[in-house]
Amino acid sequence: MSNVYSPTDPRFAHLGPEKFRLRQTDAVLLDAKFETKPIGFFRDAAMRFAKSKISIVALIAISIIGFMAIVGPYMTPYGYNDQNLDYINLPPKIPALARFGIFQGTRVLQNRRVDALSDTSRYPEGSIIRIDNRRVMGGVELCDVTVDYYRYMGIDDDVYFLFGTDYLGRDLWTRVWRGTRVSLIIAIVSVICNVSIGLVYGSIAGYYGGSIDMTMMRITEIIDAMPDVVVVTLFILYFGSGLISIILALAVKNWIGTARMIRGQFYRFKNHEYVLAARTLGANDARLMFRHILPNSIGPIITRAMIAIPSAIFTESFLAYIGLGIRAPESSIGVLLSEGQKVLLYYPEQTFFPAVIISILMIGFNLLSNGLRDAFDPTQRGTE
Amino acid sequence: MRKRPLLAVLLLLACIFVGCGSPAAPEPEPQKPAVYGTLYTYVGTVSTLNPFQSSESAGTTILDMCSLGLYEYFPNATRDGFSLEGQLAEGDPVPLNDEQTLWEIKIRKNAKWENGDPITVDDVIYSLQQVMDPVLLTRRASQVASEFITIKGAVEYYQQGNTNSVPWESVGIKKVDDYTLRIETTGFATVQDVKTQFSTKYTHLVHKPTWESCFSADRTTNSYGTPNGGFMSCGPFILKEWVEGSQFVFERNPDYVLADQISLEKAIFYQITDSNTALEMFLSGNLDYVSVGAAAIEQYEDDPRLITTLPESVTSICVNIGNSKNNNALGNQNFRKALFYATDRESIAKLVKGQPATWIVASAILSSVESGVPFRQLPEAQAYLPANNGFDPELARQYFQKALDELGLDKVTVTMIYSETSTNTKAVTEFLHKSWPEVLGPKFELKIEAVSSSMASSLRKGWKDNPDSYELAWGGWEVSLTDVANGFKVYTSWFNNKNEPYFNEYYDDLWQKANQSERGKTDNDYRLDLCFEMEQILIDEALTIPVYETPGRAMVSDRIELPLGGYKAGFGWGWMWAKVVE
Amino acid sequence: MVITLFIIITIGFMVIRLMPGSMYADDADMTAAQMEILRAKYHLDKPIPVQYGIFLRDLVLKGDWGTSIKMYIGVPVFDVLKMKIPVSMYNNLFSLLISLPIGVLLGIIAAVRKNSIVDYTTSFMVVIFISVPSFIFATLLQYYAAFRSGWFPIIYEASATGFAKLHSLTLPIIALSLGPIARVTRYLRAELAETINSDFMLLARTKGLTEAQAILRHGIRNSLVPLANVVIPMFTHIMSGSMVIERIFSIPGMGGLMVSSINNTDYPLTLAVLIFYSVVSLVTVLVVDLAYGVIDPRIRIGGRHIE
């Protein structure tokens, strides 16, 4: 005896079919089929990413620098290695900004003899702009002279260098953007290397666990215990200072962090039920590792990579400072910064521009990685 | 005799007294000079004060301050030049035979160590024995045994190793009495030779008890003069404090043999490696001296304190003529000459704020100490220099074409190594990287490769083990500034530290004539003639391509009066005779 | 750990000996015979495995790390390190000690006042300090805070003691700390901002704690755990930074020793420096592992808590 309704049951005879009415004869069943397309992982992330204004600004800033790194070197008539020894260490001169009193191509020359100021062979006509701080030292009257450095060097008024020039008279605008390009290439390639190595290594260690994991982690410990400075220095000394060896030197230790993180992720996910299910259905190890477990780590990996890019640029500049940077005459942010440091007190502008660019890249990649982390975070999936 | 500027001043004073109309007045008692003030200066890296191991120029400066040698360069009484006079030695060495191979040197009787121990000939002999000790084997052993003079039996002694086959008694260094030393040389030597040999820092004295206490258990190493080991001063100043890597503090040594010549009470030598730091220290009054680098020169070129000195070394490109690459193109003289004439030295001079150089002997090197005239300024030394500072693109192309024909090559690619940390050579390398191919055309290519400075030098010297160790590299010899002929040794066949595998018997012969023959040692004109010929050979061979010279630039504060009023090549600044004139 | 160290020593020894370049390449004017004798004296004429055997024998039997052969001739390398380490450690530890609290403090302020002007200013400073290399800051600090204003000595005063010494070390320490402070701040801000939004913080506030109380008692404690992760790289970062800073401020520390010993091909010294740095970094790892247990007995493995 059941209580289930049946039209033939005499107990329900009073409930005839006429008492019932179809509710949805013309309406569509909502759960029958999605009208909209399903939102994939990346699409979902992209949508959430687009909602964050700061991340978009960061992305735009990086894109602009990236764009300039590609086209910047071609925007002036000078090549990155065009030398002119009459144009050494010129200050920046940007015609559009000159009227606001900045980047006029002026420079203060200290400790100049007052009696030599009228000597037009040293100070060509119209080169002296201002004279300050007159004083007598050792019986000689000295002063600080502000000069239009372009005229002082006897250069025509229509010649200008937007970021100035370096010790070989090379255009710094071209070199800065070319340097940005080289630095970005070094950073991105080295990060790709370290992510790839770390990914495979960490996956294997994390997935198999046990003694394999044990051995592999000991190896990373050994590599990790060697200080970065030492490893990188020895590496470069051994293999020379080419682009490839710098990239490898940057990757040689950095993959360990990625490997550890991936291993951690594997430990977290490998015992989940869905992995068990996939295994039961016959998925092999490689498929389990790369198809089922690894995608969980995409967010952290991308976030990590984003932070690693500017820090690779940073390490490269450190290498350049100790004389192990990229091979001349090629330029890079690090090379420009360390060249700039040598003359920082005399020609600060040579440090200023690369420093600004590395800062923007640093801010940009950091904000971008924050944005991406939020966007990729699986716990936030589907929320708005 | 040592010169006594002070004595001259006192005599002058005495004359004035006499002139004042008191002829009966007794001669004023010789007064001690006013001793006061502290000198603040700085030096580069000094890792050891062991005179037998030190090879840093900064170490030489420090050793000069606090240790004692037989001879030393002293400022003249007239304070316009300098000469080599006895410091521990009392007077010049005296030849005892006609062949001039046996010498006697008297030493002063009033010399003392910092702790009061008297200094006798035993100390001198002990020091010489230790520097040449066959087991200890210091780095300077070979130079003490044989450089300006060759001490009899010394080479055999230091090279015997553990064999114990050559007794110290067979070496030509003997004690006559407590204050007389006898030296035997293997060949003819002049007074000047002996004096020069015993003015080098590696013949300075070490204190026996201290030295003995610094031996390791097996007596194969000795830590004397290192920050952890002992050290005993006996020079013009006493080393009071040494904070490794940071500073040296000196105080005047009242027991110094020539203490009356010293006017400073104290001297502090900081160790600063960063040039900006040093300049800031100078400008804020914390240093009395600073060397001004090329980048800073624009801001100080008019400063009255700026002192410019003659360049002491020619920066040149060493060519590995034994390199087998490119069909041994570097061994081809025409190819090397093509490089020589393709070098735009005037532009390079602008780049490094120096002067173009087409010669081997640097501008500061003296033709002789007596005349004080730099070798470079002799008209004969200029006659054979190429015109237009050796830049002649047309000639360079001709030589290059000739070389290509001889070598049977269509294209030559050479690699130049340089160090990133050396600002000047880096810039010039980048310049040549661009300008040489522009001059020589598309058949020539220059590759450049940055290596660390130590790597650069070991590659440059590495041709002995590996003939292809380098192709082109930067070099610049710092040789004796007072003895022009001696400096040519770096191209002789037997010089061990050579940059280029160059072996030329005729050249070797010239060098020997100039440096070791009796005529060369005594006849200055003859020696100079040989020098002209040697330099001509080297320029013509182009096995080293001179490029530029950079003058020394420094500022010295107004409160310091230097013994010669400035810097003199071969003498230096003379810090120990400086005066504070506040 | 001992095994790790042994492997590092072995690899280090091999790598250093295999470096191109010869020990007596550019030196005092020595004859070939003299050089040969010297090579033999330091066993450099033997094959590398034999050299390694000799090194290990001396190390194990006599505790002898070798003698400096080029820079501090005749001095046991152990003594060289003993002389250099205290100077550097003084700076490095000081720098670590001030950068941790300052970084934590700034991080908290920035996280609590998230998206305020304070947060933006801090973030801006953080980015500048992280991105511009310390050698630029050191040069600028030296110029403005020492040379132009005269507030601090331009170089390290080696013979000074007590306060004067600290005074002369202020600028190097600041220059060394800027980077680490920025790192800690950035890390803590991110962690804390996340923690503040987590459920247990909501609970803490619900049960009546004020914002400040909740953050102090619950938030920070939770954010400090992952901070241990940055301390290790931070310490090595400070050590590598000191290489540059020590040069600029003329501090006779470990910083330049590594590079100059490599440059001078002083093998025993290079190896000793390598071992020293390795030991420091191994010990740091150990300390941080132990610290984990102290700060948070249940080591955090679970997922992030985000609303």
Residue B579 forms beta bridges with which residues?
Answer: B561
SS3 B85: strand
Mutate to test the interface with B, among C23, C58, C72, C264 (most CBs of B within 10 A): C72
> Residue B168: which CATH number?
3.90.76.10
Which of A275-284, B17-26, B101-110, B156-165 comes out lowest in average pLDDT?
B17-26
Residues B273 and B403 in one domain: no
Asked if A325 and B420 come within 8 Å (Cβ–Cβ), the reply is yes
Nearest to C34 among B47, B137, B460 (CB): B137
How many domains does chain A fold into? 2
A interface with C, Cβ–Cβ < 8 A, is 218, 221-222, 224-230, 233-234, 237-238, 267-268, 310, 314, 317-318, 321-322, 337-338, 340-341, 344-345, 351, 355, 358-359, 361-363, 366, 370, 377, 379-380
pLDDT in tens, C51-75: 888 888 888 887 777 888 777 877 8
What does the alpha-carbon distance between residue C86 and residue B247 come to, in Å, rounded to a whole number?
Answer: 17
Does residue B274 sit within a domain? yes
For residue C77, give the H/E element and its range.
Answer: helix C77-112
What is the residue-wise DSSP string for B350-377? HHHTSEE---SS-TT-BS-TTT--BGGG
Per-domain boundaries in chain C: 2-62, 84-279
Segment C262-281 mean pLDDT: 79
Segment C231-241 mean pLDDT: 71
Asked if A358 and C132 come within 8 Å (Cβ–Cβ), the reply is yes
pLDDT above 90 for B481? no
Segment B61-74 mean pLDDT: 91
Mutate to test the interface with C, among B246, B465, B489 (most CBs of C within 10 A): B246
Which of A264-278, B2-16, B181-195 comes out lowest in average pLDDT?
B2-16
pLDDT in tens, A82-111: 888 888 888 888 877 777 777 777 888 888
Of B159, B179, B203, which residue constitutes the final position of a domain?
B203
| pLDDT greater at residue A348 or residue B13 | A348
- Cβ contacts of C24 within 8 Å, gap of 6 or more: C30, C35, C38, C39
Q: What pLDDT score was predicted for residue B508? A: 92
pLDDT in tens, A143-163: 888 888 888 887 877 778 888
Q: What pLDDT score was predicted for residue B182? A: 93
Alpha carbon of C75: minimum distance to chain B alpha carbons (Å): 5
Residues B473 and B515 in one domain: yes
Reported as a pLDDT band with limits 50, 70 and 90, residue A351 is confident
Hey, is the C-beta of B438 within 8 angstroms of any chain A C-beta? no
Q: What pLDDT score was predicted for residue C293? A: 64
Residues A198 and A296 in one domain: yes
SS3 B117: coil
What does the alpha-carbon distance between residue A273 and residue B335 come to, in Å, rounded to a whole number?
Answer: 76
Residue of B nearest to C254 (CA): B245
Burial of B386 (0-12, 13-18, 19+ CB in 10 A): middle
Residues A145 and A294 in one domain: no
Reported as a pLDDT band with limits 50, 70 and 90, residue B20 is very low
Which of A17-31, B43-57, B411-425, C185-199 comes out lowest in average pLDDT?
A17-31
Residues B260 and B386 in one domain: no
Segment A330-346 mean pLDDT: 83
Q: What pLDDT score was predicted for residue B15? A: 41
pLDDT above 90 for A231? no
Of B203, B220, B254, which residue constitutes the final position of a domain?
B203
Segment C21-38 mean pLDDT: 64
Q: What pLDDT score was predicted for residue B249? A: 92
Burial of C209 (0-12, 13-18, 19+ CB in 10 A): middle
Segment A226-233 mean pLDDT: 71
Compute the half-sphere exposure of residue A170: CA atoms within 13 Å on the CB side of its CA: 27
> Residue A353: which CATH number?
1.10.3720.10
pLDDT above 50 for C300? no
- Chain B positions touching A113 (Cβ under 8 A) are 302
Residues B471 and B343 in one domain: yes
Residues A226 and A372 in one domain: yes
pLDDT above 70 for B76? yes
Reported as a pLDDT band with limits 50, 70 and 90, residue B127 is very high
**Nearest alpha carbon to residue B88 among B102, B103, B74:** B74
- Chain B positions touching C261 (Cβ under 8 A) are none
Does residue B113 sit within a domain? yes
- Cβ contacts of C141 within 8 Å, gap of 6 or more: C171, C174, C175
Q: What pLDDT score was predicted for residue B7? A: 43
Does residue A9 sit within a domain? no
Residues B421 and B512 in one domain: yes
Q: What pLDDT score was predicted for residue B71? A: 93
Residues A130 and A247 in one domain: no
CA angle centred on A17, ends A11 and A22, rounded to 5°: 130
Q: What pLDDT score was predicted for residue B3? A: 41
Residues B224 and B373 in one domain: no
Reported as a pLDDT band with limits 50, 70 and 90, residue B532 is very high
Supply φ then ψ for residue A123, to 5 degrees.
-120, 90
Residue C244, token pair as written in the block: 């540059």
Of B203, B238, B267, which residue constitutes the final position of a domain?
B203
pLDDT in tens, B250-264: 999 988 988 888 889
Which of A87-101, B200-214, C118-132, C214-228 comes out lowest in average pLDDT?
C214-228
What does the alpha-carbon distance between residue A3 and residue C43 come to, in Å, rounded to a whole number?
Answer: 100
ipTM computed for the complex: 0.78
**Ramachandran class of A164: left when φ > 0, alpha when ψ lies in -120 to 50, beta otherwise:** left
pLDDT above 70 for B568? yes
**Superfamily, domain C84-279:** MetI-like (1.10.3720.10)
Reported as a pLDDT band with limits 50, 70 and 90, residue B207 is very high
pLDDT above 50 for C179? yes
Q: What pLDDT score was predicted for residue C23? A: 56
Does residue A188 sit within a domain? yes
Residue A156, token pair as written in the block: 């025509």
Residues A178 and A146 in one domain: no
pLDDT above 90 for B122? yes
Residue of C nearest to A379 (CA): C306
Q: Domain of residue B227: give its range.
A: 6-11+35-67+211-295+553-580
What does the alpha-carbon distance between residue C177 and residue C186 come to, in Å, rounded to a whole number?
Answer: 14
> Residue B241: which CATH number?
3.40.190.10
Supply φ then ψ for residue A80, to 5 degrees.
-70, -15
- Chain C positions touching B460 (Cβ under 8 A) are 25-26
Residues A141 and A179 in one domain: no
Nearest to A359 among C18, C127, C280 (CB): C127
Secondary structure, 3-state, C219-265: HHHHHHHHHHHHHHHHHHHHHHHHHHHHHHCCCCCCHHHHHHHHHCC
> Residue B433: which CATH number?
3.10.105.10
A interface with B, Cβ–Cβ < 8 A, is 81, 83, 85-86, 88, 109-113, 116, 137-140, 142, 167-168, 237, 240-241, 320, 322-325, 327-329, 342-347
Asked if B420 and A241 come within 8 Å (Cβ–Cβ), the reply is yes
Residues B407 and B461 in one domain: yes
Q: What pLDDT score was predicted for residue B162? A: 78
Nearest to A241 among B347, B434, B450 (CB): B450
Q: What pLDDT score was predicted for residue C297? A: 52
What does the alpha-carbon distance between residue A159 and residue A70 come to, in Å, rounded to a whole number?
Answer: 24
Does residue B388 sit within a domain? yes
pLDDT above 60 for A115? yes
Q: What pLDDT score was predicted for residue A93? A: 82
Hey, is the C-beta of C256 within 8 angstroms of any chain A C-beta? no
What does the alpha-carbon distance between residue B433 and residue B537 come to, in Å, rounded to a whole number?
Answer: 27
CB B339 within 8 A of CB B542: yes
| pLDDT greater at residue A34 or residue B138 | B138
Does residue A1 sit within a domain? no
Reported as a pLDDT band with limits 50, 70 and 90, residue A25 is low
Q: What pLDDT score was predicted for residue B16? A: 41
Reported as a pLDDT band with limits 50, 70 and 90, residue B581 is confident
How many domains does chain B fold into? 3
What does the alpha-carbon distance between residue B222 and residue C156 come to, in Å, rounded to a whole number?
Answer: 30
Q: What pLDDT score was predicted for residue C301? A: 40
pLDDT in tens, B425-456: 888 998 999 889 989 888 888 888 887 777 78
- Chain C positions touching A355 (Cβ under 8 A) are 131-132, 136
Reported as a pLDDT band with limits 50, 70 and 90, residue B8 is very low
pLDDT above 50 for C305? no
Burial of C297 (0-12, 13-18, 19+ CB in 10 A): exposed
Alpha carbon of C245: minimum distance to chain B alpha carbons (Å): 10
Q: What pLDDT score was predicted for residue C277? A: 80
Asked if A380 and C133 come within 8 Å (Cβ–Cβ), the reply is no
pTM, rounded to two decimals: 0.80
- Cβ contacts of C219 within 8 Å, gap of 6 or more: C192, C195, C196, C201
Reported as a pLDDT band with limits 50, 70 and 90, residue B480 is confident
Alpha carbon of B550: minimum distance to chain A alpha carbons (Å): 16
Q: Domain of residue A213: give its range.
A: 172-380
Residues B507 and B565 in one domain: no
Q: What pLDDT score was predicted for residue B31? A: 53
Residues B560 and B545 in one domain: no
Segment A269-286 mean pLDDT: 80
CB C258 within 8 A of CB A233: yes
Does residue A365 sit within a domain? yes
The whole-chain average pLDDT of chain B stands at: 85
Asked if A328 and B420 come within 8 Å (Cβ–Cβ), the reply is yes
- Would you report the helix, strand and coil content of chain B in percent, each value rounded to 5? 35, 20, 45
Q: What pLDDT score was predicted for residue C296? A: 57
Reported as a pLDDT band with limits 50, 70 and 90, residue A32 is low
